Amino acid sequence: MTADPFNLPSTALPGRGLDPAEVLDRLREAKAGDRDWRGGKVFSLVYSAGEDHHRLLEDALALYASENGLNVLAFPSIGYLQHDLVRMTASLLGADDAASGGAVDGFVTSGGTESLLQAVLTARDDARDRRGIDRPEVVLATSAHAAFDKAAHYFDVDLVRVPVGPDFRADVDAMAAAVTDRTALLVGSAPSYPQGVVDPIADLAALALDRGLLLHVDACMGGFLLPFLERLGRFDTPFDFRVPGVTSMSADLHKYGYAAKGASVILYRTAELKRRQVFLTTNWLGGLYASTGVAGTRPAGPIAAAWASLMHLGADGLLELTGTAHDAARRLRAGIESHPELALRGDPPATVFAFGAADPTAPGAPDIFAVGDLLAARGWYLDRQSPPDSLHVTVHAGHAATVDGLVADLDEVLAQVLEDGQRAQDRSTDYGAPGAG
């Protein structure tokens, strides 16, 4: 490898191509410095239902490595797979309940961000066409995912971020006060990424109905988690299309659907809203061009792998994985809460949460980023986030084997930080760190 002007390792296009075996060796070599999520010490970015499951995903990805999801007339199977994924997801999220209106439908997208982009674009166009609002607003809590900022930036929509309440959940009264004549869309998270708490969806839905607004429930994290927690009797608050007033939802297959990366579902309550997502043009020399997402040419592998994941796991498998992940999260939570100097942020019901100093201003309070640094030195990878300064974990079924080790290490490094009073030099947060180029 030769150095580039930014001092990143870079490889020139070889004049004469390498043998496949050598290419694969090089890839393995390149990966050597990456986090080893297989060891169960990485608490973000990857979800694991075990080695056999990953092999199934890889086989399904390989089967569809070269097909193009842009055109389901050429590859009808990709259309069937997407239809199944949408139906299965809709069914988990209340579409079969009479209260849903019976028309819930949607699309497979490349991930949570694309699902949220589409929800905002659909709401913007609905507000422009139906209500004559030129520059619509989205009202959402400060905890809603950063992808909404990206959507606002891409689509010329204004975001009105409203501070969360002391429990880190959306403050519905404050959101109601932020609604104006330009508001097109309200957002609730189930659960939020930063603190893993579920917003009061029924109250947000009542507000949306009262003011004639759309409401998107971001269940990117919870779409394949909360329905199973509910069946386990560990969560009992309707958050989906059973709640009148919820007009769209996102649910990521590549999170708790244990699919390969690149698959999410966006759902709409009505056919009218769903239609708004379809882009059609004949305004070029290539004839009719229709597409339902951001990309034109689309990888079909993630669609096939997501289908393989749900078909292989089935409802029973997802139920079991949810129970396993939730048990592991409870053990980790108990370990954290056994230290009076630490506290969880809010009361997260599922498997995603953040924790930090119980009172960061108290004399002798531990610096949670120093705790994070010492855990990192022992091989644990936890996101750092702020405000407030916290460590963040996404617990999946694969962590059942490792959380007790994390709790034991946390006990030791916390004792060290409390004794030494050390503070981390590096205060940066790092969720979402793209490379150059």
**Which residues contact ligand PLP by CB under 6 A?**
111-113, 116, 145, 147, 189, 192-193, 218, 220-221, 252
Q: Which is nearer to ligand PLP, 258 or 413 (CB)?
A: 258
Phi, psi of 155 (to 5 degrees): -110, 15
Q: Are strands 137-141 and 158-162 parallel, antiparallel or unpaired?
A: parallel
The owner of tokens 């759902």 is 267
Nearest-approach distance from CB 185 to ligand PLP, in angstroms: 15
Structure tokens at 159: 């975001």
Nearest-approach distance from CB 65 to ligand PLP, in angstroms: 21
Nearest-approach distance from CB 255 to ligand PLP, in angstroms: 7
- Map residue 125 onto helix, strand or coil: helix
Q: Which is nearer to ligand PLP, 277 or 357 (CB)?
A: 277
Nearest-approach distance from CB 18 to ligand PLP, in angstroms: 33
**Are 277 and 247 in contact, with CB atoms under 8 Å apart?**
no
Torsion of CA 342, 344, 345, 349, to 10 degrees: 180
Q: Where are the alpha helices (DSSP H) in 156-237?
A: 172-178, 201-211, 226-231
Tell me how crowded residue 188 is: count the other CB atoms within 10 A of its CB: 33
Q: Which is nearer to ligand PLP, 111 or 372 (CB)?
A: 111
Q: At what angle do helices 403-420 and 301-337 cross, to 10 degrees?
A: 50
Q: Which is nearer to ligand PLP, 196 or 366 (CB)?
A: 196
Nearest-approach distance from CB 144 to ligand PLP, in angstroms: 8
**Are 246 and 217 in contact, with CB atoms under 8 Å apart?**
yes
Q: Which is nearer to ligand PLP, 374 or 393 (CB)?
A: 393
Strands in 262-386 per DSSP E: 264-268, 279-281, 289-291, 342-344, 352-357, 383-385
Nearest-approach distance from CB 387 to ligand PLP, in angstroms: 18
Residues 158, 238: Cα–Cα separation, whole Å: 29
Closest CA to 160 of 182, 143, 137, 185: 137
Q: Which is nearer to ligand PLP, 145 or 345 (CB)?
A: 145
Select the residue whose beta carbon is closest to ligand PLP and give its number: 112
Nearest-approach distance from CB 113 to ligand PLP, in angstroms: 3
Q: Which is nearer to ligand PLP, 27 or 433 (CB)?
A: 433
